[in-house]
């Protein structure tokens, strides 16, 4: 199997219709990738032998000098894909403590820049119960802040990753779509789903305590976080979560 390290990058078009009624079952004959639509399914367009292993590197935090020097730079600047090009990564940035010169430099070097909210509040209930208005402020305002201080065109900041991976169902997705985002990377999955759009009902598992979208959002993409398995055998959605009980 080929190994290609890539970052998820959706060149989504502007959502003409932010949301509609409850999504229906997806029809693969009408939901076509050339129309910015894809059903949530395990099947890909290639045979198993032709399918590369896709590894998405995604970082979600403030852009700070110590994190950049100790973690981000060693991981992404010293590695290349088999074709000789530098690997890619997604950086979801929150406002507090961020050095926007670092954010600007990452964007200039071709890395995908997304939004991790303004406050990055650690309280899960804050995000799980957030209103649509609050979420528009948290994510829409951070997009504006980054566009100004990191000198990145706002339309190049397309993706979201919510703190603690806590979605509030349709309130979250509606807020993201209204603010001009075209994909979200906050939804863990037990199954190996490819990225898909929310034109139709999602087949992705909705874990206990999680609120998942049920309405239709034409052209809005979901980049599922495929669950990992930690050293103790427990399922985890992040590297940090896999080593939460480790002293290393």
Average pLDDT taken over every residue of the chain? 88
As given in the structure block, the two tokens for residue 102 are: 């670092």
As given in the structure block, the two tokens for residue 22 are: 């409850």
pLDDT in tens, 149-180: 999 999 999 999 999 999 999 999 999 999 99
Distance CA(152)–CA(143), nearest Å, equals: 9
Domains of the chain: 22-41+51-242 (3.20.20)
Best CA proximity match to 62, nearest among 52, 54, 72: 72
The side-by-side arrangement of strands in the sheet containing 159-160 is 58-61, 90-93, 112-115, 159-160, 183-184, 217-222, 196-198
pLDDT at 195 over 90: yes
Write out the DSSP string of 200-238: S---S---TT-B---B-EEEEEE--EE-EE-TTS-EESS
Beta strands per DSSP E along 50-103: 53-56, 58-61, 90-93
pLDDT at 23 over 90: no
The helix/strand/coil state of 91 is: strand
Distance CA(44)–CA(27), nearest Å, equals: 15
As beta bridge partners, residue 229 has: 235
pTM for the whole structure: 0.87
pLDDT in tens, 103-140: 999 999 899 999 999 999 999 999 999 999 999 999 99
């Amino acid at each position: 199997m080929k190994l290609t390290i890539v970052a998820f990058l959706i060149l989504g078009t502007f959502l003409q219709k932010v949301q509609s009624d409850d999504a229906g079952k997806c029809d693969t004959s009408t939901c076509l990738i050339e129309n910015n639509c894809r059903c949530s399914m395990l099947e890909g367009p290639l045979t198993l032998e032709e399918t590369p292993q896709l590894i998405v590197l995604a970082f979600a935090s403030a852009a700070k000098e110590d994190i950049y020097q100790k973690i981000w730079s060693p991981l992404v600047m010293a590695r290349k894909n088999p074709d000789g090009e530098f690997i890619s990564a997604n950086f979801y940035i929150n406002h507090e403590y961020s050095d926007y010169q670092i954010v600007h430099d990452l964007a200039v070097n071709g890395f995908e820049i997304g939004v991790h909210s303004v406050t990055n509040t650690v309280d899960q209930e804050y995000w799980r119960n957030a209103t649509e208005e609050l979420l528009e402020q948290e994510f829409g305002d951070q997009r504006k802040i980054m566009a100004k201080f990191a000198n990145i065109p706002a339309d190049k900041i397309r993706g979201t990753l919510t703190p603690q991976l806590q979605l509030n169902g349709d309130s979250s997705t509606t807020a993201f779509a209204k603010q001009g985002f075209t994909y979200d990377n906050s939804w863990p999955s037990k199954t190996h789903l490819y990225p898909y759009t929310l034109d139709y009902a999602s087949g992705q598992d909705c874990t206990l305590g999680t609120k998942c979208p049920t309405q239709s959002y034409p052209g809005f993409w979901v980049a599922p976080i495929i669950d990992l398995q930690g050293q103790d055998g427990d399922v985890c959605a992040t590297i940090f979560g896999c080593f939460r009980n480790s002293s290393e």
